[in-house]
Amino acid sequence: MRFEDITIPNVDKVQLVDLLSNETTTTGSLHITPSHIIFRSDDGSREIWISTGLIGVIERGSISANGCALTIRCKHFRVISLLVPRDKTCQDLYETLRKIGEVVNVKDLPAFDIRNPQTNSGGWNRLEFSIEFSRQGVSSEWQETDINQNYAICDTYPNRLWVPTNATKNILEGSSKFRSRGRLPVLTFFYKPSSAALCRCAQPLAGFSARCVEDEKLMELIGQANSTNNNICLVDTRPLMNSFVNKVQGKGYEDVRNYNNMQFKSFDIENIHVMRNSQQKLLDACSSGRTITEYLKGIESSGWLKHLKAIVECSLFIAQSLHKGISCVVHCSDGWDRTAQTVAIAQILLDPFFRTIHGLQVLIEKDWLAFGHKFDDRCGHVGALNDEAPKEISPVFTQFLDCVYQVMTQQPRAFQYNERYLIVIHEHVYSCQYGTFLGNCESDRKDLSLSKRTNSLWTELDTRQDDFLNPFYEPFAFNEILDLDTRSSNFSVWSSLYNRFDLAAHPRENMYDSLMNSMEHVGVLESHIAAMRMKIAELRGLSASMIDSGLSSTEGVDDKLVLESPSSKESVAESELELVDDHLGRRVIRWQRLNEVYNCSSKRCMAEFSSNVERKIHCHNCGKIFCRRCVDMTSDESERICLDCAKRNQ
């Protein structure tokens, strides 16, 4: 999208409607750019920026005396309701927004227009398979193979694969031909305490009777790679009925009678179409204006929590099997949706590394990006000139993050990151401002040269790590498999995500932010106390030296007696104390409360804190709250102060 393609870049006298009260609250102007939609109030007190990649559905309502209704439903669950003054203007705006939101060429996405090479080091090298498998402690029974070099046997798999050491090229090629999309069983995680392996693949092209000797041999070698337990468990994440239907299409599931030492386990995780409808019902239930009874009925009708429960139960089964020393091979239909969800959650349950900020990035790079989850299709990054593209959209990755959140609520001390981290990742999966989640597979991303032409999300998040820290984290307390209770009562709606922008008149303080803010405030006060103690010690030393000097000066000449008289000593001490008072005077002991501030305190900014995910940051100097853009660290990295205080202190 280029500027010249935007038929109506500015609209004045637009009214922003408060969805909670259904009343017009703000009048301003709407500005359309290739990368953002911007609403700016006439008095300058409110400004809303929305990435064009986040545009989901545009709805045009009927005209009334107040104007023509236009609703923008975003992929990160924000809903903007506007009243446009004239019917023709509303129609032009509707068509412009639809054109912006329906990108056909991936190169027209915002990520390709906002690259800043100076800030883009490291993010594109977050995952190196050899380093990651070395960290996991992969045994000599597994080896790297270049059989998929240049994506020769599977264009949706990584370039380099790890397979059993004794697996020959013929075995690997034969298994690949027997699996949907060529996605043969390969290693994704090695659980060193039991030497059990977690492998992933796609469904077999078995039909009702077909078999593959090479595939059966590869499965046998996967089992034999664990010297203590040769048994493997094949986990099919699909409902059994779905697997039967796929047999009619020449696909289906493995006949365990043809495989040695294999047990079969099926789980009822529904397909992408069911999940898409389920999320829409969930969002309808979470919309404002519903009674408690309607809300609860809507949540039950959506089935969303039931689906989360099924994913977590399957993941827990996989984790427990690996913990017992039983290797697992997991697949769904094509191995890039339900498979990615369950193997990733299982690794989070088993490996503390994946419960860290850096570790989650590595996990996403490995099991979602490298192994070919179709982010372009599932997130609707790029449309098509037919009706097929909307059928491919599904909240698969959103479900994964929701499952991580459900685990975090049961084990809050086991995670280095907080829920804000998950929500920010979710937003930028859809925003298309970064190249990290563009493309359907590793091959796509290389063809698009994303590492050279776009920014990495991980680089941006690296600069904000303090926003994502969990104050309850105990890094050495949870080294074993996480214990979960999967009863239905332990699953809840993630309101901070789905109702992120529904701020009440008196919003509650975020628990994590309140604690982190208190810890930060205490730290600032303690350092201040320490500085004052040092200053007091200096003054005491100065006072003692002045007394000694005054006593010895009685033997000197009269002019020295005058210079070092008690009154002179007092004036010097007073000047020193004035410096201390000045230092104290620049420090505000009491900080602003988080739930009392709705806008950045900088008069030049006044940015609105429009959701409970945007962190409110205190200036250590004046105690006021600012947005991240209006604060900075001091040169010695010891304090965070606002730009106004930094200017005054120069």
| Greater pLDDT, 179 or 597 | 179
pLDDT score of 47: 86
Q: Which of 332, 600, 619, 630 is catalytic?
A: 332
pLDDT for the residue 555? 47
Quick count: other Cβ atoms within 10 Å of Cβ 539? 15
**pLDDT of res. 505:** 46
Higher per-residue pLDDT: 359 or 522: 359
pLDDT in tens, 477-505: 898 899 999 999 999 999 999 998 886 54
Sign of the torsion angle spanned by Cα atoms 363, 367, 371, 377: negative
Predicted TM-score (pTM) of this structure: 0.88
In our burial notation (b when 16+ CB lie closer than 10 A, e otherwise), range 617-645 reads bbbbbbbbbbbeebbbeeeeeebbbbbbb
Q: Determine which of 38-52, 77-91, 554-568 has the lowest per-residue pLDDT on average.
A: 554-568
CATH number of 511-649: 3.30.40.10
Read off the DSSP letter of residue 369.
I
User: 10 Å Cβ neighbour count for 288?
Assistant: 12
Contacts (Cβ under 8 Å, ≥6 apart) of 147: 153, 161, 169, 172, 173
Beta bridge partners, 264, equal 234
Spell out the alpha helix ranges (H) of 31-146: 87-101, 129-136
Phi, psi at residue 62, to the nearest 5°?
-80, 160
Whether 379 sits among the annotated catalytic residues: the reply is no
H-helix or E-strand containing 566?
helix 566-585
Q: Which residue has the higher pLDDT, 505 or 456?
A: 456
User: What is the rounded CA–CA span in Å between residue 445 and residue 457?
Assistant: 14
Residue 440: the pLDDT is 97
Higher pLDDT, 646 or 25: 646
pLDDT at 556 (0 to 100): 46
Minimum mean pLDDT range among 112-121, 246-255, 313-322: 112-121
Contact 349, 484 (CB under 8 A): yes
Q: Which residue has the higher pLDDT, 649 or 509?
A: 649
Amino acid making up residue 175: S
CB neighbour list of residue 230: distance below 8 Å, 6 or more residues apart: 223, 224, 261
Task: Please state the domain extents for the chain.
Answer: 3-102, 123-491, 511-649
Q: What is the helix (H) or strand (E) element at residue 428, kind and residue range?
A: helix 419-431
Tell me the pLDDT band of 22, cut-offs 50, 70 and 90: low
Long-range contacts (CB closer than 8 Å, 24 or more residues apart) made by 30-35: 30/82, 30/93, 32/6, 32/8, 32/93, 32/96, 32/97, 32/100, 33/3, 33/6, 33/9, 34/1, 34/2, 34/3, 34/5, 34/6, 34/100, 34/110, 34/113, 35/110, 35/113, 35/114, 35/433
- Mean residue pLDDT of the chain comes to 88
pLDDT of 274 reads: 97
13 in the Ramachandran plot: left (φ > 0), alpha (ψ -120 to 50) or beta? left
pLDDT digits (tens, 9 = 90+) for 566-625: 455 555 555 554 554 455 456 677 888 887 887 888 888 877 787 767 888 889 888 898
CB neighbours (10 Å) of residue 154?
23
Tokens of 434: 């970064």
For the segment 140-162, what is each residue's pLDDT rounded down to a tens digit? 999 999 999 999 999 999 999 99
106 pLDDT higher than 50: yes
Q: Which residues make beta-bridge pairs with 83? A: 15, 69
Other C-beta atoms closer than 10 Å to the C-beta of 514 total 15
Angstrom distance (rounded) from CA 375 to CA 441: 8
Query: Domain 3-102 carries which CATH code?
Result: 2.30.29.30
Pairing of strands 617-618, 186-191: unpaired
SS3 state of residue 537: helix
pLDDT at site 120: 59
DSSP code of residue 249: T
Token code pair at residue 204: 């077999």
- Edge-to-edge strands of the sheet including 232-236? 186-191, 196-200, 327-331, 232-236, 262-266
**Helix (H/G/I), strand (E/B), else coil: 450:** helix
pLDDT over 80 at 457, yes or no: yes
Provide the 3-class DSSP secondary structure of residue 210. Answer: coil
Residue-level pLDDT at 119 = 62
